[in-house]
Structure 1
Amino acid sequence: MAMGLHSQGKARRGGRSRAPMAEINVTPLVDVMLVLLIIFMVTAPLLKAAVPIELPESRAKAMSEEAAQVTISIRRDGVIFFEASPLAPGELLDRLASVSPEPDGKMPLVTLRADKALDYGRVMEVMGELNRAGFTSISLVTDVSGG
């Protein structure tokens, strides 16, 4: 209604009777943004678990994630991964030495993901290397069961 008011009683050049529309329809933009949001929400957890391992189950409550953390994964065959890259035997300490402390001087949190079929001694060896490198805050990652 309000669009047509400004053109009443005036003769337009070129015979045009409508003014150009200066509104933007944001509905398609919102639709696209919601679809992208859903895609990112679905894929973000998959990016975190780049090394496929079978985690042991636990009924513990899930902890909140910290911004500065390092993920160490141990696959069923004993291969150790720093974030998503595999390490050669004995390379873990060198990689841990390259991790810089947080601004407050603390070392970042280490999340240790180990396959449930691994020997307990192998997991303890890796935890010992983490401790020797100065990482004292270590979280063991498990699969949270619904029961």
Structure 2
Amino acid sequence: MALRLGDDDELSEINVTPFIDVILVLLIVFMVAAPLSTVDVPVNLPGSAATATDRPENPVWLTLTAERSLLLDQKPVAAGALGPMLDARTAGDRETPIFLRADRTIDYGALMALLDALRGAGYLKVALVGLDGAP
């Protein structure tokens, strides 16, 4: 009587089909979610050759549109109410960096007036936002 040891006909390969299914589902989720995370305010930003810096977890966006309207995190704000609105948004922390996006058609005087208003409100950490690439 002969006895065979270890000669089973079972396949001992890893099934990668469920892994590929999960990867494809994640890819679809990211493809759908990526366009939703972009900014909806139409601002024609100037280019910049500077290296990009790290973005904080919950950035404060201040936008100056081509029509010279101010938006704080995509909500309209009057120029006179900028200080109190920023205080409410940052919980009074004046060390919070403000990310300033201004349309490229805005003249220098309007941009300086906005920077002066930010300085008058006590916010000295202002980062200018531009597009990657040469100006």
CA contact under 8 A between 1:74 and 1:114: conserved in structure 2? yes
Alignment partner for residue 70 of structure 1, among 57, 60, 75?
60
Percent identity, aligned pairs only, is 23
Q: Which residue of 1 aligns with 2:4?
A: none
Alignment partner for residue 82 of structure 1, among 62, 67, 72?
72
The higher radius of gyration belongs to 1
**Structural mapping, 1:41-80, within 5 Å:** 41-44=34-37, 46=38, 49-80=39-70
The root-mean-square deviation of aligned C-alpha atoms, in Å, is 2.6
Q: Which residue of 2 aligns with 1:7?
A: none
5+ residue gaps, structure 1, are: 3-24
Q: Which residue of 2 aligns with 1:134?
A: 122
When normalised by structure 1's length, the TM-score is 0.69
CA contact under 8 A between 1:74 and 1:81: conserved in structure 2? yes
Matched, 1:144 2:117: no
When normalised by structure 2's length, the TM-score is 0.75
**Structural mapping, 1:1-147, within 5 Å:** 25=18, 27-44=20-37, 46=38, 49-101=39-91, 107-145=95-133
Number of residues of Structure 1 aligned to a counterpart in Structure 2: 122
Shift of 1:137: 0.9
In the TM superposition, what whole-angstrom CA distance separates every residue of 1:13-60 from its partner, at most 9, and x where no partner exists?
xxxxxxxxxxxx45434321221123323442x1xx231111112211
